Amino acid sequence: MIWCDLLGKDALDIYLGKDTNLSTTEHQQLENILQRMTQHEPVQYVRGVANFCGYTFAVAPGVLIPRHETEELVELIVKENTLQSPRILDIGTGSGCIAISLSLLLSDARVTAWDISEQALCIASKNNKTLNGNVFFEKQDALGILLTETIGKYDIVVSNPPYITNSEKKEMERNVLDWEPHLALFVPDEDPLLFYRQIALHARKLLCEGGRLYFEINRAYGVETVEMLYEMGYRAGRIIKDISGNDRIVTALT
If one counts every other C-beta atom within 10 angstroms of the C-beta of residue 141, the result is 14
Q: Quick one: average pLDDT of 156-171?
A: 85
Residue 149, pLDDT above cutoff 70: no
In the prediction, which pLDDT does 242 show?
Answer: 95
Residue 183, pLDDT above cutoff 80: no
Phi first, then psi: give them for residue 210, nearest 5 degrees.
85, 5
In the prediction, which pLDDT does 231 show?
Answer: 97
In the prediction, which pLDDT does 22 show?
Answer: 83
Instruction: Provide the pLDDT confidence category of residue 147 given band limits of 50, 70 and 90.
Output: low
Mean pLDDT of the chain: 90
Q: Which of 27-41, 138-152, 183-197, 206-220 has the lowest mean pLDDT?
A: 138-152
Report the alpha-carbon distance of residue 180 to residue 243 in Å, rounded: 24
Q: Quick one: average pLDDT of 19-29?
A: 84
Q: How many residues can be counted in the chain?
A: 254
In the prediction, which pLDDT does 56 show?
Answer: 97
Instruction: Provide the pLDDT confidence category of residue 170 given band limits of 50, 70 and 90.
Output: confident
In the prediction, which pLDDT does 151 show?
Answer: 66
Q: pTM for this structure?
A: 0.89
Residue 16, pLDDT above cutoff 70: yes
Domains of the chain: 2-38 (no CATH), 53-253 (3.40.50.150)
Q: Which of 25-29, 46-50, 69-73, 228-232 has the lowest mean pLDDT?
A: 25-29
Q: Write b or e for each residue in 101-129: b if 16 or more Cβ atoms lie within 10 A of its Cβ, otherwise e.
A: bbbbbbeebbbbbbbbbeebbebbbebbe
Q: What is the pLDDT of residues 86-123, one digit of tens each?
A: 999 999 999 999 999 999 999 999 999 999 999 999 99
